[in-house]
Amino acid sequence: MTTVAATAHTTHAHHDDRSFIRKYIFSTDHKIIGIQFLFVSLFFLVIGGLLAMQMRWQLGYPGQPMPGGGILPETMAPGGVILPEYYIQLVTMHGTFMVFFAIMPLLVGVYANFLIPLKIGAHDMAFPRINMWSFWSFVVGGLVMLSSLFVPDGAARAGWTMYAPLSARHDFSGASLGQELWSVSIIFVGLSSILGSLNYITTIINNRAPGMTWFRLPLSVWSLFITAILGLLALPVLSGAAIMLLFDQILQTHFFDPAVGGQALLWQHLFWFFGHPEVYILILPAMGMVSDIIANGSRKPIFGYHSMVFAIVGIAFLGWLVWGHHMFMSGMNPTLGSSFMVSTLLIAVPSAIKTFNWMGTMWRGNLRFHVPMLHAVAFVAMFVIGGLSGIYMAATPVDMFIHDTYFIVAHLHYVLFGGSLFALFGAIVFWYPKMFGRMMSEGWGKVHFWLTFIFYNCTFFPMHILGMAGHMRRIYDPTQYNFLQPYQPMNRFISISAFLLFASQLIFFVNFWWSLRKGKPAGQNPWEDNGLEWSLPSPAPHGNWEKLPTVYRGPYEFSSPQVAEDYLPQYKRLPTDREPASALLAGH
């Protein structure tokens, strides 16, 4: 890879003679790879959403033919009525697509790739070719997962957590090829993440522009750095577990089958040892980008920059010590359960630090409620709700009551949809001009935001109540239980809200596509932000800078008394600024 690292900086911004395939398909340009990730994972986001809509139909209108369900084959929904074995596939594949192929690549694949070199002032990633492999490995994994929906026995059926032995033994799950394809696909996703992570870490450590010291890094880069470390160390465990699961499925090994000496709980330990760091992989980049957007929207320096950094590190570190809280009900020594409870509750401390810092940033700020800011504020609010319900479940006595109910469904959607996805909508709108050179429509963006915000809460908030009432997490037909029948109107309300929520996303996608060609040209720095990426034209050229920028200050110098404007970019040299030592060494 030395070859690529060395050539990357000799290729300059202004002669771009790559062929179409090298430029847009097998590209090694971090920005193109980021955009490739964006399109592919938005596609999977829609797939995941479509699967969720079918689930909501069954829950709102159990046993009734689904409109348009006639196109599904007899094995899934004869006459449009969803079968139980298809419903459990919907549950499994919705979770899998959303976690592994939508939120994770949207946060890490898109924004780590797109933002890291732009924000630290590098020409490209440290290993552009490995970066390309990371993307294509993700695509292969995605296609394998997608194809598993169409195999004869149907897709995987053991839930996105793939608990053994249901997942390991085909005679238990009733799906053979679908289960195997799930394992294969996850191995590819793991490879993609590991390759990406080692690239991000190396780039951030070694390729920062002169003057970009560690504590001048934007919080988005800090959070992506810590996320990359989590991904680097957590994904190989998942890959190892998925490989053993695959061997159980195709080679008849006995890792997870208790009938012949294997241990079903072992799968849960391996999965959640990966799974809890994964939770922070899914939220830390969102927190980082929200920090950038909130400082920009408040026109104030971020409140407590250092404590924000240490909170990210603290969350990531504690994230390794808490996996057992997913397994309180799996048969665990109560003493061990208590220690997992305490370590989990500790995570509330750095999380609260971050929340207070965001509020401290907004406090008496000169607020600009542009679309990214609206999404960022919604992120903070929804994250608080999701975080608080997380504390309920971290407490073992409460968890015993609400475990595997709709309470957990509400909780995880409050952090993954209300948290990560709102942050992502904000991030997409915020960096859209740097990606495509045009602005997304502000008006339609606000319409989309408010509809999403309202219907999102209508969809997921009542799920807390359903969960408290004992509504099981993956149940096919809640009306089969007398005690759940009174809640059927609420289920129907949730389903209608979910359909409207899904429909509202149409506005976003139309806005996205329309703005690609017809959006207002963006100019260099449309949000009046401080990051290095705004020193480039929009869209940023191949190789980014002809000559690397020099960094003179931290990323959040808003409303500085030193300049007339209310922002002071990192790359802007004031007469009082000294050249950083590294820039002098480099002959800048």
Partner 1 sequence: MTHAAATVDQMRPPYPAERGLDVYNTKLGMWIFLASEVMFFAALIGTYIILRFGAPGEWAKPGIVLNIKITAFNTFLLICSSVSMVKAYASIQDGDQKKMRFWLLMTILGGAAFVGIQVYEYLHLIEHGFLPSGVREGSELAELVAKGTLPAATMGLYGSTFYTMTGFHGFHVTCGVISMAYLYFTKALPGKYTKLNYGGIETVGLYWHFVDLVWIILFTIVYLI
Q: Write out the residues near partner 1 by the rule CB under 8 A.
A: 1-3, 5-7, 9, 122-123, 126-127, 130, 194, 197-199, 201-202, 205-213, 232-237, 239-241, 243-244, 247, 251-255, 260-263, 266, 270, 548, 551, 580, 582-583, 585-588
Beta-ladder partners of 472:
405
Q: What is the DSSP letter of 257?
A: -
Mapping DSSP to helix (H, G, I), strand (E, B) and coil, where does residue 563 land?
coil
Rounded CA-CA distance 111/339 in Å is 35
Q: At what angle do helices 334-346 and 371-394 cross, to 10 degrees?
A: 160
Q: Closer to partner 1 by CB, 237 or 415: give it.
A: 237
| Region of 470 on the Ramachandran plot (φ > 0 left; ψ -120 to 50 alpha; else beta) | left
CB of residue 342 to partner 1, shortest distance in Å:
24
Rounded CA-CA distance 141/153 in Å is 20
CB of residue 239 to partner 1, shortest distance in Å:
6
Rounded CA-CA distance 566/559 in Å is 4
CB of residue 2 to partner 1, shortest distance in Å:
5
Rounded CA-CA distance 475/90 in Å is 12
Q: Closer to partner 1 by CB, 200 or 487: give it.
A: 200
Q: Closer to partner 1 by CB, 321 or 381: give it.
A: 321
Torsion angles phi and psi, residue 95, rounded to 5: -65, -45
Rounded CA-CA distance 348/344 in Å is 8
CB of residue 532 to partner 1, shortest distance in Å:
12
Q: Please report where in the chains the tokens 């002032």 appear, as a residue.
A: 121
Q: Closer to partner 1 by CB, 93 or 187: give it.
A: 187
Q: At what angle do helices 219-250 and 284-298 cross, to 10 degrees?
A: 160
State CA 262 to chain mean position distance.
Answer: 33
Sign of CA dihedral 412, 483, 60, 48: positive
Rounded CA-CA distance 375/509 in Å is 16
CB of residue 423 to partner 1, shortest distance in Å:
26
Q: Closer to partner 1 by CB, 404 or 579: give it.
A: 579
CB of residue 240 to partner 1, shortest distance in Å:
3
The token pair that represents 134 in the structure block: 């990371």
Q: Closer to partner 1 by CB, 293 or 327: give it.
A: 327
CB of residue 458 to partner 1, shortest distance in Å:
41
Q: Closer to partner 1 by CB, 151 or 229: give it.
A: 229
Q: What is the DSSP letter of 302?
A: P
CB of residue 109 to partner 1, shortest distance in Å:
17
CB of residue 400 to partner 1, shortest distance in Å:
25
Are the C-beta atoms of residues 405 and 392 closer than 8 Å to each other?
A: no
CB of residue 117 to partner 1, shortest distance in Å:
12
Q: Closer to partner 1 by CB, 216 or 325: give it.
A: 216
Q: Closer to partner 1 by CB, 288 or 580: give it.
A: 580
Closest CA relative to residue 509, chosen from 417, 428, 416: 428
Are the C-beta atoms of residues 128 and 34 closer than 8 Å to each other?
A: no
Q: Closer to partner 1 by CB, 504 or 530: give it.
A: 530
